[in-house]
Amino acid sequence: MKKISVVYASSLLLLSMNVFADPHLDEAIQHATAAVEHGKAGHASVLVEHAVPAFEHSMTAVITAKGLTLSHINNAITDLEEAIKHGKMNHADVATTYAETALGHLQEANKK
């Protein structure tokens, strides 16, 4: 009886991990959205200020991601790296394009 209880408890724990949204993914989306908004306004430095935490939260979210979600987060990470790089070079338009693409990937990864 103990083994069955342990198996059921473990199963519920694993299922519940998939049911609850990853708060790091939500934070990454919020920061990526702000990065895009500031990039569209031509504020490359502020874009970077938001792209960096979006990148950091994405890196944390990737730890528990699987399948297509993992693929989208990895693509977002790559795009955020480029957004940060171009934002630091004061290329707001290019950085914004990368931030927009990253945001799209993060939103796809967050679909339930």
Domain span including residue 74:
22-109
- Taken in order 66, 71, 74, 79, the sign of the CA dihedral is negative
Question: Within a domain: residue 17?
Answer: no
The domain total for the chain is 1
| 76-99 per-position pLDDT tens digit | 999 999 999 999 999 999 999 999
Question: Within a domain: residue 1?
Answer: no
Question: Within a domain: residue 11?
Answer: no
| 19-69 per-position pLDDT tens digit | 446 899 999 999 999 999 999 999 999 999 999 999 999 999 999 999 999
Higher pLDDT, 24 or 5: 24
Higher pLDDT, 67 or 7: 67
Q: Is the pTM of this model over 0.85?
A: no
Q: What is the CATH number of the domain that holds 54?
A: 1.20.120.660
